[in-house]
Amino acid sequence: MAGFIDESILDDILGRIDIVEVISAYIPLKRAGRNFKACCPFHKEKTASFMVSSEKQIYHCFGCGAGGNAFNFLMQYERMEFREAVEHLARRAGIILPERHRLDRQSNGTVTQIHKINEAAAAFYQSSLRSVRAKSAHKYLENRGITPHTAKTFKLGYAPDEWDGLVRHLTGNSFDLGLAQKAGLVIAGTDRGFYDRFRNRIVFPITDVRSAVIGFGARVLDKSLPKYINSPETPVYVKGNHLYGLDLAKEAIRQEDRAVVVEGYLDCIIPYQAGMRNIVASLGTALTPQQVRLLKRFTHNVCLVYDGDTAGQAASIRSLEIFIDEGVNLTVAVLPAGFDPDSFTASRGIDAFRELIAGAATIFDYKLKFLIGKTGRIATESKAAIVSDMLSTIARFKNAVLRSEYVKKLSETLDVDESALLTELSKAKAGIRTDEVAAPGGIRTTAVHPTEKLLIKLMLEESSLIDQIRDRLDPDDFQDSRTSRIVRLMLEMTASGKPIAPGAILNHVGSDETMRLVCESTFLPDVPEAQKRVIVEDCIARLKNARQASRRLRLQSEIRKAQDKGDHELLNKLFTEFHSLIKKG
């Protein structure tokens, strides 16, 4: 897991933070003896089975099997990449990572400074919106039905009708205007001075998934053009890598297991204000693979909502195959002509908007209807083109049953022979990449013998027992490859003088299944102190006997095979080994 950073630094980070504090910032924890418990945030349950240990610095759910240390929790709950989780907790622990240290030596780095300038600009625009000079902005927001609370939630602001209002503000606060230009906030004039990019406009700050301001969109307050001006791409803002409003919507998306995607700022804000909290905007008409992958952190179910005009539908058609390739279940809702999500919600209400989304079409149905509607009729000469277009989409589905059903449905709709479609489908599949996309699924619990789990628990709790086990057992005595891996790792760590801590050992175990086994073993019921060594001896004996029995069965099987082949030389060797094993047993 460590990969890009030294494991000692990871251990240092975990040693400085408390996993209980980290997790309690997201879900309420209640003390349960030495541990804490809650209803699991990763699956629905009525009885709390999610346990957190401050002593061991790990968590584990006995319902779904989720478990890990603080890094793993952020990766599961916030859908962070490992690097993001490490950087987040390093900041919390006050630890400067090597990469960050280099940036700090370079005047904190361009990226860090641009983030600071963006935050300062957002605060300036918000302050300007609260001033008396923002009457036109107040009137605009009132006419659009945006409440002061919603304006504050989305950090809406006002760019004053001044040539250099922001320039003067940034200069007065000692910000470098050259960096402000790199941030896309100011423009260099012909006289070597700078002027504001946004003037006399409502400002929509664009934030990343962790609520940091990365860019801006700005709308005119009159009928002048262009209606919208957006930040150019900068070192911190690439339009195709972000989704407007995701930082506000991510928790609702996770809870409802669906994201609603619209196009514009107000298309997102108005439904959100009305109660639809799992909604984001695409910052443009064509979604990118990066944006789809960002959504996949929180859900595998997405509904696109576009205007009923041809341009809007064409935009959603272009996005279809991205969702299929990424393994996301997509539906498409088409608004009545003349409506966008903003106006539809304002005029018909949020319940009508929810009904529209609930009745959204599948990818197959939406695209087929669009293609048939584009031609106006299913003429014979149109069928070949429609079939070709539809099969290019069907071929991208990884599930063979789903492909078969769609081919059957296409055959019935277009009255085309199914075998002919299957022939054409094989041709279409030849040009499609074949790498599989993992489907979302539940977390499996680990099926390991209780004796092996108990020994793992005792070794993690008391390092003195490790020497006792080292002298009596070999890692290969453990039947399960995961427990064998954990024991070997602990023996190596103690031999090199490293402390054994469950939260830290998770950085070294390798696979998710092995990590869950560590967590699951740790939360087994406590063993009375006076009985530990006796229980360890009993566990060792059980494992030794189990391995002996397994070896006997293996030898008996090999003896039968050697007898069938008439291999007398091998038989003699196997019999010798078998009798030696019997004497030891």
Distance in angstroms (rounded) separating the CA atoms of residues 278 and 122: 24
Fold that domain 108-237 belongs to in CATH = DNA primase DNAg catalytic core, N-terminal domain (3.90.980)
Higher pLDDT among residues 192 and 444, named by residue: 192
Better-predicted residue by pLDDT, 318 or 1 = 318
Give the pLDDT band of residue 177 (cuts 50, 70, 90): very high
Using CA atoms, how far apart are residues 214 and 470, in angstroms rounded to an integer?
Answer: 54
Please give the average per-residue pLDDT across 256-274, as a whole number: 95
Establish whether the linkage from the previous residue to 226 is cis, with ω within 30° of 0. yes
Residue 421 CA, distance from chain mean position = 37
Q: What pLDDT was estimated at residue 376?
A: 57
User: pLDDT band for position 70 (50/70/90)?
Assistant: very high
At a CB cut-off of 8 Å and minimum separation 6, what does 377 contact? none
For 7-103, give the CATH class: alpha beta
Q: Is the pLDDT of residue 442 over 90?
A: no
With bands split at pLDDT 50, 70 and 90, how would you rate the model's confidence at 308? low
CB-count exposure of residue 422 (10 Å: 0-12, 13-18, 19+): middle
Give the Cα separation of 274 and 289 in Å (integer): 29
Q: Which fold has domain 238-354?
A: Dna Topoisomerase Vi A Subunit; Chain: A, domain 2 (3.40.1360)
584: pLDDT strictly greater than 90: no
Q: What pTM did the predictor assign?
A: 0.64
At 266, the pLDDT band (50, 70, 90 cuts) reads very high
For the record, the structure tokens of 264 come out as 């514009």
Q: How confident is the model at residue 443 (pLDDT cuts 50, 70, 90)?
A: very low
Locate the domains of the chain by residue range: 7-103, 108-237, 238-354, 376-443, 450-581
- Measured distance CA(324)–CA(433) in Å, rounded: 12
**How confident is residue 377, by pLDDT bands cut at 50, 70 and 90?**
low
pLDDT of residue 143: 94
Could you count the other beta carbons within 10 Å of the beta carbon of residue 255?
14
Mode of pairing for the β-strands spanning 259-262 and 301-306: parallel
> Distance between CA 306 and CA 314 in Å, rounded?
10
- Its CATH class, for the domain covering 450-581, is mainly alpha
HSE of 334, CA atoms in CB hemisphere, 13 A: 20
Which residue type, as a one-letter code, is found at position 201?
R
**Best-predicted range by mean pLDDT (149-158, 222-231, 380-389):** 149-158
Q: How far separated are the first and last CA of the chain, in Å rounded? A: 41
| Residue 341's pLDDT band (cuts 50, 70, 90) | very high
Residue with tokens 């370079």: 106
Binned at pLDDT 50, 70 and 90, residue 474 comes out as: confident
Across the range 116-126, mean pLDDT stands at 96
**Does residue 368 have a pLDDT over 50?**
yes
C-alpha triplet 435, 436, 441: angle, nearest 5°: 160
**CA dist., res. 539 & res. 483, Å (int):** 14
- CATH topology identical between 238-354 and 450-581: no
User: What local confidence, expressed as pLDDT, does residue 144 receive?
Assistant: 94
Confidence tier at 438 by pLDDT (50, 70, 90) = very low
Query: Mean of the pLDDT values across residues 330-343?
Result: 91
Looking at residue 433, its pLDDT comes to: 46
**How many whole angstroms separate alpha carbon 542 and alpha carbon 546?**
6
